Structure 1
Amino acid sequence: MLKSMTGIIAIITILFFGSNYASAEQSPRDEEVYTFLKDAFQSQLSLGEKHRSLEEIDLVLDPYFTKEYQQSFLKEHLFEEEAGYITYGTDFPAYYIPFFSYDEETKVMESSEDEIIIYEFFTSEEDMPSLYDDHYEYVKLQETPSGWKVNDYGFEYEMPDFVKNNEMEQEDSIVTTGSVKDVRMNRITPFGMFAYPFFHSLPVTIGMMASQLLHDYNQNTFLVTR
């Protein structure tokens, strides 16, 4: 009997705490976006490795950037020399993919069905010389007939409006999720009954509580995904 009770308690504990752990992980969509941006950044850096023709440069950049974005980037950084075209290092990396940290500081948001914005707040390092004060950098991805591509870049010292709106939505989501968790905690108050191994209705109580936890877990997941 004791072994059976221990197993059931372990299952319920996993169901209860497992949902919180899963919600804290990066979503698969975010990871895909991060991988895409890292590859896009590497394609930009590769243009400084050797001289290329314009056709070759187009083949390197086209999988990741719209034609308009490529033109803006190349206008800023491309040099024509006798051996061909090449880019060099710069202190003003406009139109390069920002140096995102790709962790909880890098935010991914959908502004519409065919546009995703990735942004991050960068602070100036007090112990290191910096060209910039605290600022925001972002890029926008647009869905095109040939797939998602970078189509815009931004650098702003003031908080952009889309950042304000996104953070307000996140705060509202946290409040809503927190309310659901409070209700769930109130419902599982009888959990203390597990401490009494001879309670005559224990099998029924465990079954009801497990069912309630599963119901609340599904409800919480639905609210978060919305």
Structure 2
Amino acid sequence: MEKKKFWLLLFIIGIISAASGQAGQTQASEFTKENALTVVENAFRTQVSLSEKPQSQEKIEGKLSKYLTADMTESFMSENVYKIDGGFITFGSDFASYYIPFFSYDESTNVKYINGHWYIWEERTNEEEGPIESVEGIEAVVLSEEEGTWKVSAITYDVPDFVQSR
């Protein structure tokens, strides 16, 4: 009798595990191109807002960690957050490290999901106008899932050929 209870318990645990895995796959597949663009745009706006007024390091980290992975948050803060009277702040620059690129979020913005990551990028030319200066070439953001949430995990100036060709 004890063996039957044991096997029944294992069977139930197996069913629950399978159902949980299916739910996780469904949730991941519901994350769309539009969701990816929203995460990147919100991350950009959050970074820019950090130059508005001094605040605590904890508050800055809390804001960034909604959109950036733990590693990206740490890198951004060590490169861009400065102590001043009244707290901590960022100072803007066209070429500051770990900032989300200034994307147009239109047809020139490419978005692809490949091998468990979202790639968002634009190709830049020297012909662009506006207040933000950019370098000719590719500017890209990579989203990865961290603890069930899609976050910016990398900013790069190179998109792998296998991503661009698909």
Aligned residues: 136
1:95 aligns with 2:91: no
| Alpha-carbon displacement from aligned partner over 1:11-59 (angstroms, at most 9, x marks no partner) | xxxxxxxxxxxxxxxxx82222112211111111111111111111111
TM alignment of 1:58-69, pairs within 5 A: 58-69=61-72
Structure 2 counterpart of 1:208: none
Tell me if the contact between 2:94 and 2:132 (Cα under 8 Å) persists in the aligned partners. Answer: no
Tell me if the contact between 1:64 and 1:148 (Cα under 8 Å) persists in the aligned partners. Answer: yes
Secondary structure, aligned partner of 2:152? strand
> Which has more radius of gyration?
1
Q: Distance in 1 between the 2:52 and 2:115 partners?
A: 37
Structure 2 counterpart of 1:119: 121
Tell me if the contact between 1:79 and 1:85 (Cα under 8 Å) persists in the aligned partners. Answer: yes
Tell me if the contact between 2:82 and 2:90 (Cα under 8 Å) persists in the aligned partners. Answer: yes
The two structures, once aligned, show a CA RMSD in angstroms of 2.3
Q: Which runs of 5+ in 2 are unaligned?
A: 1-30
Q: Distance in 2 between the 1:31 and 1:148 partners?
A: 12
How far apart are 1:79 and its partner, in Å? 1.0
Q: If each structure's strand is expressed as a fraction of its own residues, which one has the higher value?
A: 2
Superposition TM-score, scaled by structure 1 size: 0.54
Aligned-pair identity in percent equals 36
How far apart are 1:91 and its partner, in Å? 2.8
Superposition TM-score, scaled by structure 2 size: 0.72
Secondary structure, aligned partner of 1:100? coil
Secondary structure, aligned partner of 1:105? coil
Tell me if the contact between 1:124 and 1:130 (Cα under 8 Å) persists in the aligned partners. Answer: no
1:36 aligns with 2:39: yes
Judged with a 3 Å threshold, the aligned counterparts in structure 2 of structure 1 residues 123 and 66 are, in CA distance, closer, same or farther, namely same
